[in-house]
Structure 1
Amino acid sequence: MGRGNGMWRWLSAAAALAMPAAAAAEDAVLFDGREVAGVVHDGSSSAQLAGGLLARDLQQLTGRAAVVVDDVSGCARLCVVIGTLDSALVRAVAADTGVDFSAIRGTWERYGRILVRSTRDPSRRYLLIAGSDRRGSVWGVIDLTRELGVSAWEWWADVTPRRVDRLRVDGARRLSEAPSVQYRGIFLNDEDWGLQPWAARTYEPEAGDIGPRTYARIFELMWRLKANLIWPAMHDSTTPFYQMQGNAAAARAHDIVVGTSHAEPMLRNNVREWDERARGPFNFFTNRRAMVEYWRERVEAVKDGEHVYSIGLRGKHDSAMEGADTPEQARDATMQAIAVQRDLLAKAQGKPAAQVPQALTLYKEVLDTYTAGLPVPDDVTLVWPDDNYSYIAQLPTPAEQVRRGGSGIYYHLSYWGRPHDYLWLATTHPALIREQMDRAWQLEARKLWVVNVGDIKPGEYLTQYFLDLAFDHRIFAHAPRTHLRDWSARQFGAAVADRVTAVMLTYYDLAFERRPEFMGFGQVEPVTPVRTSDYLRTGGDEAERRLDRYAALVAEAEAIGALLPTDRRDAFFQLVLYPVRGAASLNERVLKLDLAQEHAKALRAPVVPGSTSEAINRAGNVVRADMNVLSEQARAGQQRIVDDTGAYNALNGGKWRGMMNAAPRTLPVFLAPTFPQVALPRQDACGIEGSDLAYVEGAAVTRGFTLYSGGADADWSLAPPPGFAASATSGRLHAGNGYRTRIALTHDGSGSNAVKLTCGGRTLTLPIRIATPAKGAPPVINQIITLRPASATSPDWESVPGFVGALRSRLTFSPGKTAATPLTYRFDTGTMGAAEIRILSLPTHPLTATDDLRLNVRIDGGAPQTLDYATFGRSDEWKRNMLSNTAVRSLSFAQLAAGRHTVELFAASPGLLLDRIEVRLDGAPDYYGMPLR
């Protein structure tokens, strides 16, 4: 934190606790080694709770109990005073000290803070936190706890505050900025497998559900994340929020704004609260009177609380409107329903409906209803959703941006539905969150941001990143890595922050290519069985590379964990190690079993009599003896998921028992398959799997290959020639290692491509190729040229922080504009032949209803061609795009001449996210993911 500059943000989160013995005059000494500051609140419920939170943090930091009172006379030499500007307490302290924070009076959720001395009692000093409103006071307390080094996850992920000898904070005058987004919240959803069973059986068994004690914990977490809006849990496994005694009171006490999801207009949980036997069908066309009475009951019952009311009309439970056969019928019924709902609100609140916060979430078919011409009152906030897979479906046009009610965003970090759920591990890439929410910010969708966090855990970091962006839009100026590093330092210390950041970014990178939940290559609605992974469609190399990356990631995460002190290991397991190992173990189970089955096919191929090991290897006829060990390693991967999940639920004396479930909905991808064992013939021969041993002259590159035998013990050795280095140079293949080993071979860009290996007394030549591209040209590797720029070379494009080489056509792109400056790429081909140029983007959607999603391409100065990346509904193409995080358009050439070629890309629409270009020459392997580079 900069001292005395009036600005404090997330960048100050890793506050140092090692402090000199003597404090500067402007510092507030909250603990001098003997006495801890007292806490005084203004008597409001939220100030009292915030005071208790601060006192609890102080006690954990110092070991001393801090008094919490509502009168300064009960405080000793230093009092932390918490209240609103207009409270009697703050007015009295201001009169005593001459403090004037009137500049923030009447503003939204701001506060002033200053260290002042009492004029009546010079021995007493006040660290005054005065809010413009009650939540402003709370944010002042939260910023103080952050400055003291307390993590937002001190309870929810066991990042327990550490004891210190001294505590002091800057006492200079400061005024906080207003939050960037007015309503910032979380949606508890799909809670059936974690949050609800944990609350019902472990944390709040007296309620047997998510009750007021659980919600109080959730609301405190929201405070620490500076969130003010909740959409409560709403599945039929959970008692509706307003039917559980004490829930609403807990929200009022914490000054939390309550809303409901897109499927729950007027704060009604239809799935549990609408009784068809008593009320009839949930059909506005045939049963309007009963539905209106149902809504009226709720708005009358909760009229004294603070809410953002969801309005509109859908089916009973996250489904299309019942009784409407056309979008026009749905439009007219929704218009009538909104009019009725606003009349109910006006009567219950005793004021015009335009003064009651309302939101219409344009989710799924409701967006179709809106685009069919639904008139929405100008004061209603339009909430634009993503497509459930973290790509915002549509944003407001210039006309919609100036609506009085403004716009908001509903975003997913967890989802149940087609093409496939992702409910287990939180893997949405922070770079995608930043890019998509940056779109929302730039297009004035700033009124309300709600994020679907599923069960909260294990999505802790992503939840905080989303909410930090909502609270302070200036974070957009920094790459996601910067935020993640600061967060890592706060949880685990600066010494390991860079390493933790690298681990987590690799974890997100791997999952961005394919989420763990999608590794079964099946779908839901309807549920389909798992199938062989597309990582094996070109042989085993791509699967082996992915396994190598995960193995290295786990090894690094475990090494970091071993360095941490005992009091951070539970937190590290929850926040880093469990998700990293879980993703790695599921990939290992899937890919190693697929590899074993792929290798088993060799059993059907006859061994060539009298052939040498090298000849057998090149013919592909060595019977691989690693099938059984791969199958056993796949089984071990599945068991690790079971064991790690059990360990998670046993952490901290069983505190989290029932929270973690590694098989939500028991979908096929999670179920233990058969792990076959086969009787193998024994061959005294060795083989190499490593068709990807392709290197580039002048570049240091590491590749991996597998050395295996046919079931006989075999010593092997490798003497790397100049220019090469190996991860191992000798070893033995035997039953214990499954007659296989992985070897990484690095080439420094110089030297020959003649690398030989001996195995079982015979010599094998490694299938190495070294590309020698022309100066300034990208290399041809395995018949593929990958073009991926590091920065934009055209004013019509901009780089996207956090993604390697991704570019975005500017959001300020004017419709109808002819983009005169292209992105230009050049590549060389050595021979004439067939070729395909694939231009891959991320699967975004047209920016607004008036935009398209097009790109103009010119090859070698020819006529421009237009590529349209838009998809429609939940088409098969859209499903493929979501599962792979890619959208592909291709240009094919029956004959592409040898020599230099030019690709020019002209922006034709705003917001298209270009990932890379692949020039695929004749014979190129069809990799699932990124080609070798």
Structure 2
Amino acid sequence: MRLWLTLMIATFPAAAAAAAAPLSLDRTSLVVASGGGRTATLAATMLAGDLVSLGAARSPIVAAPAQCRGTCIVIGSYDTPLVRRVAAAGGVDLSMLHGAWERYVRARVRVDGHDVLLIAGSDRRGVIYGVVDLSRALGISPWNWWADVTPRRRDHIAIDDGTVVSRSPSVRYRGIFLNDEDWGLQPWAAKTFDPAKGNIGPRTYARVFELMWRLKANTLWPAMHSVSTPFYGDPGNAPLADDYAIVVGTSHAEPMLRNNLREWDEAQRGPFDFTRRPQAIVDYWRERVAATRQQETIYTLGLRGIHDGPMQGATTNAQRRAILETVFARQQALLADTLHKPLSDVPQVFVAYHELQEAYDAGLAVPPDVTLMWSDDNYGYLRRLSDVKERQRPGGAGIYYHLSYWGRPHDYLWLGTTHPALIREEMERAWQTDARRMWIVNVGDIKPIEYLTQYYLDLAFDDRLLGEPPQAHLARFMAEQFGEADAAETAAIMMRFYDLAWERRPEFMGFGETEWVTPNRPSAYVQSDGEEAEDRIAAYRDLVACAEAVAAQMPADRRDAFFELVLYPVRAAAALNTRILSLDLAGLYARAQHGGANVMVERARGAHARLVADTAAYNVSAGGKWRGIMDMAPRRLPVFDEPAWPKWSISSAKGCGVSAWGEWLDDGNTLAFPAGRTDTRTFTLFAHQPQTADWSLISAPPGYRLSAGSGALTRDGAYQQRITVRYDGTTGAKGKVRLRCAGREFSVAVDTLAEARGALVERERRVTLPPAVAARGGWQMLNGLGSMGGSLRSSLLLSASVDPARWTFSTVTTSDAVVRVVALPTHAMNPSHGVRVAVSLDGAPPVALDLGTIGRSDRWRGNVLSNTSVATIPLTALAAGTHRLAVTPLDPGVILDRVEIVLDRAKPRYGAVTTPR
């Protein structure tokens, strides 16, 4: 073979200067250098298919460049004889690939009159990524198959002739965990994609592996629930992973590559209890290590229960610690004896998940060459990161992160709703604390978490993305799928989708919990006058309208992709919110003798029908390709159930009523405005009877005007209309807005309070202090994260003394009040820190507040469902006038969402006050 290569290269005596014109790929031949094995051939085959999908002729894979017709694409490792000689003939430097991890060089050379495109990798995956990046540069989306982003054919296919030298990935092992697959991936694979197998098997994994290639992920934790065939239970899976150069690992619940749920039969093997059956368990592990010794794997060390539960035989951290240290010793001895290589050359990880982290924090000694993998709390907030000493460990650290979750306090298995800004923030703190060895993300069924999966893996591949706003990445993603023309608008739609889910995920809108399952409860959005619920319904309605307008203009070859990636998530979230909130409003309206109560029930019923129809449409999209992948009620939790549809009795009251939340002045409910400044308030006018009622303005006091002077309360509007009162700042203006509705006259009182100064003023007995207007002190602004479009984060390397964030605000009444410090529910960076701030009002001695939680407490459960952690300071008789508030961070990584000054008798709210209506 060496002689043949020498003679073959001799036909290319010298390299000419590269031509300036782009290199045509309309007609190509592919040459796979020897030594690449099945992996390089698979990569070449994928590239050939990609070129055909763009309109090129089918590229043959030939044995030697001399057999090429058209442009010759040479693919292989940098140290193979063929690649070395082509590079030398073309003057291409490959020295940077020596000993490198997953790098490549792509270069055009012209040799003896022939155009040659060389793709040289530092290793197998370097070769793969060179091929993937070429396909992507030609317009092949990573989601061409998994989200039906159909490649667009063109008359001429070409690539520019610039040499590309890739960087090594930022994180060494980057991957996905297929999990909770019972309602999507498994039934789809079993019934639609691979019915002959009847489960997730090699045919499905081949598609998963190709997606991983295109996303530059190299590590898989395979599907592991009881509905799925264990990965090593199918003899075709492991060899296929090796063909695709995929590193196989397993989760915290599956040490030593064993799927305990399906592979340890307690009836035959006895209890999975290391205190009672240590040798049986070690032998069980030995079977798998021996079977995988020739494959690229990562061994998870440690011990948990059969399925994602605490280990048997231990009830305290001291007992777990003692057992785990014995287990580590036995596992490492087993690896050394079976693999016959130094342990430092065997990738090993300890996943500090729940009680395993608690045992670690209690003093568990993890071998230094084992990677410490920190986990989030299942809701996107990292529970722990390495301290200064831990960062020196040779095994390094990693992250296990969730974009999908089954468990308490509530699942979110249905829609991908984690905010990209939270992912960026949490992974930035991981990167800054040297958790850079391994990042694995739980992606559930893959669909519909496509974008978030790519974002996470892109951050892992290139840490430079941590320095840019997530909106920029999202816009590029949308441009790649749908073109530049709609990219900005589509990205804005999805960012608004994430913003709304940030306040409350759709799956959490039942306000119940799981494990144990509790029934739905009335929404906290309907705890006063229903205005928050109406606003949320309207926000989703507007979002759907924007998404549908873009969908209507989408070319035919992108309609399925747009439905899967944008339209279904937006409409599904809107429908569930609308159903739940409309029913809650119906009850509120019925109690208020509101004629629109039954209209709201009908709206709720219509929203549910739309959700059912859209889910059915998803499962027949792309010609039925995805039948079974989308389930609108995973785990059949109460939030998803079709509710009973009440029918409210018609009120005996006649005429119209008003819903208004104002100040109690002169023993009456009054819409009150700070004097001397323009402002608005709203009230709702409604008919008591379910029939059209005309209304008109009779008169308004000087200084006040209404958003409309007349109108009709119709069925389409649920027999109501929200009306805005605008005050022009005239001092002392007061009186009554007089209205006529359904033939009757009534009034709404308006008045002014004391004059207020400054931008932040009491409004409806509340002052909201947003991060954006603070003098920041020792805080960093995180744009895009939080309820008000940005948050303040204390330095991850907080010094002993920092300046506080400062606000100046005004109140116009003297009242008892509460200072509400609203933070994100982050956790302490490590055990030497907390999540504390100090708050000082008007120069008073600071009050320390602890925003952290311990374990799965009731406080933590509420925090993660609302993405808030709240601490309060009661105030007695806060005087009217100007005040100054200072908030000083006492720990690193605290994230401040906002501060609220809530005066006595303020309207209850679930979310933040954003902009005046």
TM-score > 0.5, shorter chain as reference: yes
Corresponding residue to 2:396 among 399, 406, 410: 406
Q: Does 1:486 align with 2:476?
A: yes
Q: In structure 2, list runs of 5 or more residues that go unmatched.
A: 1-17, 663-670
Secondary structure of the residue that 1:313 maps to in structure 2? coil
Deviates more, 1:723-732 or 1:551-560: 723-732
Cα distance in 2 for residues equivalent to 1:704 and 1:250 = 65
Please name the residue that 2:694 is paired with.
Answer: 715
Amino acid at match of 1:861: G
Who is 2:600 aligned against?
A: 630
Of 432, 455, 460, the match for 2:450: 460
Q: Which amino acid aligns with 1:275?
A: D
Q: What CA distance in whole angstroms lies between the structure 1 residues aligned with 2:861 and 2:101?
A: 41
Match of 2:206 in 1: 216
Q: Secondary structure at the match of 1:219?
A: helix
Aligned CA distance change for structure 1 residues 694 and 913 (closer, same or farther; 3 Å): farther
Query: Deviation of residue 773 (structure 1)?
Result: 6.7
Match of 1:733 among 713, 718, 725: 713
Report the alpha carbon displacement of residue 700 of structure 1 after superposing the two structures with TM. 8.4
Give the CA deviation at 1:596: 0.8
Take 1:834 and 1:780, find their aligned partners in 2: how far apart are those partners? 13
Matched residue type, 1:392: L
The residue matched to 1:840 in structure 2 has which SS?
strand
What does residue 381 of structure 2 align with? 391
- Equivalent pair of 1:395/1:849 in contact (CA under 8 Å): no
Tell me the alpha carbon deviations over residues 511-556 of structure 1, each in whole angstroms, 9 at most, x when there is no partner: 1111111111111111001111111112211111111111111111
Aligned-partner residue type, residue 338 of structure 1: F
Alpha-carbon displacement from aligned partner over 1:111-153 (angstroms, at most 9, x marks no partner): 11111101xx31x111211111110111111222221122111
Is 1:263 the equivalent of 2:253? yes
Q: 1:883 aligns with which of 865, 869, 878?
A: 865
Larger CA deviation: 340-349 vs 742-751: 742-751
Find 2:349's aligned residue among 356, 359, 377.
359
Other-structure match for 2:801 = 818
**Which of 563, 575, 589 matches 1:585?**
575
The 1:384–1:27 alpha-carbon spacing in structure 2 relative to 1, beyond 3 Å, is farther
Give per-residue Cα distances to partners, 1:686-710, cap 9 Å, x unaligned.
2344548888886787968464442
When residues 546 and 726 of structure 1 are mapped into structure 2, their CA distance, relative to the original with a 3 A threshold, is: farther
1:531 aligns with 2:521: yes
Given candidates 586, 600, 613, the residue that maps to 1:643 is: 613
- 2:687–2:693 Cα contact (<8 Å) kept: no
Amino acid at match of 1:240: P
Distance 1:446 1:872, change over 3 A: same
CA distance in 2, matches of 1:596, 1:51: 60
Match of 1:38 among 14, 29, 39: 29
- State how far apart, in whole Å, the 1-side matches of 2:859 and 2:525 are: 19
Residues 261-293 of structure 1, C-alpha deviations (whole Å, 9 max, x = no match): 001000000000001121111010111111011
- The answer to whether the Cα contact below 8 Å between 1:469 and 1:476 also exists between their aligned partners in 2 is yes
Q: In the alignment, residue 498 of structure 1 is paired with which amino acid?
A: A
Shift of 1:882: 0.8
Note if 1:290 corresponds to 2:280: yes
Inter-partner Cα distance in structure 2 for 1:267 and 1:837: 51
Q: Which residue of structure 1 aligns with residue 5 of structure 2?
A: none
Aligned-residue CA RMSD (Å): 2.4
Partner of 1:475: 465
Q: Does 1:50 pair with 2:40?
A: no
Deviation, 1:730, is: 5.9
Determine if contact 2:820/2:902 at 8 Å carries over to the other structure: yes
1:285-337 Cα deviation digits (max 9, x unpaired): 11111101100000000111101110111111111110013211111111111
Of 188-197 and 329-338, deviating more is 329-338
Q: Is the 8 A contact 1:180 1:446 kept in 2?
A: yes
1:796 matched residue in structure 2: 778
Equivalents in 2 of 1:767, 1:651: separation in Å? Answer: 55
The question of whether the paired residues in 2 share the 8 Å contact of 1:782 and 1:925 is answered with yes
Secondary structure, aligned partner of 1:790: helix
Q: Secondary structure at the match of 2:820?
A: strand
Q: TM-score by structure 2 length?
A: 0.92
Cα offset for 1:801? 3.0
**Distance in 1 of aligned mates of 2:707 and 2:605:** 27
Among the aligned pairs, what percent are the same residue?
A: 50
Output aligned runs, 1:175-194, within 5 Å: 175-194=165-184
Paired with 1:755 and 1:601, the residues of 2 have a C-alpha distance of 25
Distance 1:724 1:247 in 2: 73
Task: Describe the SS at the equivalent of 1:192.
Answer: helix
Query: What residue ranges of structure 1 are gaps of 5+ in the alignment?
Result: 1-23, 603-622
- Indicate whether 1:61 and 2:54 are aligned: yes
Secondary structure in structure 1 of the residue aligned to 2:790? coil
Structure 1 residue 865 corresponds to structure 2 residue 847: yes
Shift of 1:832: 1.9
> Which amino acid in the other structure matches residue 713 of structure 1?
T
> 2:706 and 2:552 mapped to 1: Cα distance?
27
Letter in 1 for 2:28: A
Structure 1 residue 923 corresponds to structure 2 residue 905: yes
Say if 1:266 and 1:691 are closer, same or farther in 2 by CA, change over 3 A: same
CA–CA separation in structure 2 for the residues paired with 1:895 and 1:642: 53
The Cα shift of 1:831 comes to 2.6
Aligned residue-pair number: 880
Q: Secondary structure at the match of 1:408?
A: strand
State yes or no: 1:678 paired with 2:648.
yes
Shift of 1:746: 8.8
TM-score by length of 1: 0.90
Asked if the contact 2:529–2:659 (Cα under 8 Å) also holds between the matched residues in 1, the reply is no
Taking a change above 3 Å as real, the CA distance of residues 635 and 727 of structure 1, as seen in their structure-2 partners, is: farther
- What corresponds to 2:667 in structure 1? none
CA distance in 2, matches of 1:650, 1:759: 49
**Compared CA separation, residues 713 and 311, structure 1 to 2 (3 A):** same
Q: CA deviation at 1:169?
A: 2.2
**Which residue number in structure 2 is paired with residue 852 of structure 1?**
834
Change (3 A) 1:419 1:699: farther
Partner SS state of residue 284, structure 1: coil
Q: Quick one: distance in 2 between partners of 1:775 and 1:687?
A: 35
Q: How far did 1:28 drift?
A: 3.6
Offset of residue 47 of structure 1:
1.6
User: Are 1:664 and 2:634 matched, yes or no?
Assistant: yes
Equivalent in the alignment of 2:163: 173
CA contact (8 A) 1:713 1:739 kept: no
Indicate whether 1:372 and 2:355 are aligned.
Answer: no
Show CA shifts across 1:844-897 (max 9, x none): 000112111111111111111111112111110110101111101111112112
Distance 1:57 1:842, change over 3 A: same
Contact 1:792–1:807 (CA under 8 A) maintained in structure 2: no
State how far apart, in whole Å, the 2-side matches of 1:748 and 1:142 are.
Answer: 61
TM superposition shift of 1:806: 0.5
Contact 1:827 1:902 in 2 (8 A): yes
User: In structure 2, what is the Cα distance between the partners aligned to 1:260 and 1:142?
Assistant: 26
Which residue of structure 1 aligns with residue 23 of structure 2? 29
| Cα deviation digits, residues 723-761 of structure 1 (max 9, x gap) | 999887765434x42642555759697788987665434
1:498 paired to 2:488: yes
Task: Indicate conservation of the 8 Å contact 2:823/2:895, yes or no.
Answer: yes
Pick which of 441-450 and 159-168 moved more.
159-168
* 316, 323, 328: which one aligns with 2:318: 328
Determine the structure 1 residue equivalent to 2:794. Answer: 809
Residues 777 and 805 in structure 2, CA contact (< 8 A), matched pair in contact too: no
**Structure 1 residue 191 displacement after superposition:** 0.3
Partner of 2:556: 566
**Equivalent position of 2:887 in the other structure:** 905
- Match of residue 5 from structure 1: none
Does structure 2 conserve the Cα–Cα contact (< 8 Å) formed by 1:685 and 1:712?
no
1:805 deviates by 3.0
SS at match of 1:115: strand
Give the 3 Å change call, closer, same or farther, for CA 153–305 of structure 1 in structure 2. Answer: same
Aligned letter for 1:760? A
Q: Is the Cα contact below 8 Å between 1:682 and 1:712 reproduced in 2?
A: no
Distance 1:723 1:404, change over 3 A: farther
Aligned to 2:188: 198
Pick one of 65, 73, 85 that aligns with 2:78. Answer: 85
What one-letter code is carried by the residue in structure 2 that aligns with 1:88? Answer: P
Question: Deviation string for 1:32-54 (max 9, x for gaps)?
Answer: xxx33333322522221122222
